[in-house]
Amino acid sequence: MCDFNNLSNEEKEHFNQLLMSCANNFGGINFFLQLIEGIREAKAHPLCSRHQDFLSDLGTIRWGKIIFNDKVQLIEKMRKIKNENKNFLPKKEDKNYKRVLNLVRTLKPITFSVRPNLRDNGEGFDFPAFDTIDSETTTINPIFNALFFCNIETVKKILNYKK
């Protein structure tokens, strides 16, 4: 998803609708982008918060488990080298397979809740870190990817995409 130019038109449309829904439930595109910019400006990666939350002037993101820095670094590494079928899990022969599988098993049950500070702005939204397609295929959730890892310019392109 973070490589916007290599997406098909159907994928661009799908991601646009998904992120627009999130933005609308958070108070609009500007509030949503300000939340993402706040995440990017944080000194330590927000997922490593020992309080399991990210607080901003516009809203909060909460999750139910401490995520250590080594897990965040592994996510960043695997995002860059995922294989051609967009599977987050490497092949079973890969030396990182067990580490990545344990990462997915650790983060899969966690639900991230995004809520605006003012209920008038929207209801907020929830999302998982990973989407499991079958026992061999797991993908990183596009909302998780957009909020915590994608370049802000790419998120803007996705939100502004028109057929």
Rounded CA gap, 24 and 4, in Å?
Answer: 21
For 135-150, give one letter per residue: b (16+ CB within 10 A) or e: eeebbbbbbbbbbbbb
Rounded CA gap, 31 and 18, in Å?
Answer: 16
Length of the chain: 163
What is the reported pTM?
A: 0.90
Question: Residue 163 pLDDT > 80, yes or no?
Answer: no
Higher pLDDT, 132 or 82: 132
The DSSP code for 87 is -
Confidence tier at 3 by pLDDT (50, 70, 90): confident
Average pLDDT on 28-35 reads 93
Cβ–Cβ < 8 Å for 124, 59: yes
Rounded CA gap, 151 and 128, in Å?
Answer: 20
What is the pLDDT, as a whole number, of residue 34?
Answer: 94
The residue with tokens 């860059």 is: 80
Query: Across the chain, what does the average pLDDT equal?
Result: 89
Higher pLDDT, 125 or 8: 125
Higher pLDDT, 21 or 2: 21
What is the pLDDT, as a whole number, of residue 85?
Answer: 57
Average pLDDT on 14-32 reads 93
The residue with tokens 């899969």 is: 108
* pLDDT single digits (tens) 61-109: 999 899 999 999 999 888 877 645 578 888 888 888 899 999 999 999 9
Q: Provide the β-strand partners of residue 59.
A: 116
- Token pair, residue 32, equals 């949503």
The residue with tokens 């993908």 is: 139
Higher pLDDT, 48 or 136: 48
Question: Residue 118 pLDDT > 70, yes or no?
Answer: yes
